[in-house]
Amino acid sequence: MKKTLLSGVVLLFMLANMPAKAVDMQAVKHTNPLPNFMVVFVKYGDMLDMSTKQEQALKKWGKKHQPIAQKLVKAIMKGEKQLHQAAIDGASKEKIMAQFDESLKARRELAELKTDCRDNLRKVLSEDQWDQVVELYTEMP
């Protein structure tokens, strides 16, 4: 538990010293390890040779679901900070575990959303385009 809390403090310190855009990506990676394939669409969409219909479908998906994902990431980060403080303040195990369970719910919801996003991309794109997305994603820093 101490290692987890220390890791959280180190992560928060690192995030505090990063530019805002980097914080967003680091927070997303921290809160959920599943791939964020929409980044490929945003950065490299022109390389995917998509039809207008495909582009519109993916933009519509992103417009609807990105705010939800951002809200979940913020909630997870806030929850971790609260958990950390609760432990320092001597909160009961029951209270800490209840807060931890809430954090896990948000993490699961984010994982489901990211998996739905992946499945939507696979539905909208051709097999070749999907393969290209995966290749581009694995080459990203």
Which is more confidently placed, 25 or 133?
133
Of 31-45, 47-61, 67-81, 103-117, the least confident:
31-45
What's the pLDDT score for residue 119?
98
Structure confidence at residue 27 as a pLDDT band (50, 70, 90): low
Q: Return d(Cα 91, Cα 110) in angstroms, integer.
A: 27
* Cα(108)–Cα(128) distance, integer angstroms: 30
Total domains in the chain come to 1
pTM value > 0.85: no
User: Could you tell me the residue range of the domain that residue 43 belongs to?
Assistant: 2-139
Tens-digit pLDDT profile for residues 77-91: 999 999 999 999 999
Per the structure block, which two tokens stand in for 66?
């990105």
Q: Cβ–Cβ contacts within 10 Å for residue 81, how many?
A: 13
Structure tokens at 94: 């029951």
Residue 3 pLDDT more than 50? no
Residue 42's pLDDT band (cuts 50, 70, 90): very high
Burial letters 97-134, b for 16+ CB under 10 A, else e:
eebeeebeebbebbeebbeebbebbeebbeeebbebbb
Backbone conformation region of residue 49, classed left if phi is above 0, alpha if psi is from -120 to 50, else beta: left
What pLDDT shows up at residue 25? Answer: 57
pLDDT averaged over every residue in the chain: 84
pLDDT number for residue 127? 97
- The answer, yes or no, to whether residue 61 has pLDDT greater than 90, is yes
Asked whether the predicted pLDDT for residue 10 surpasses 70, the reply is no
Backbone angles phi, psi at 47, to 5 degrees: -85, -10
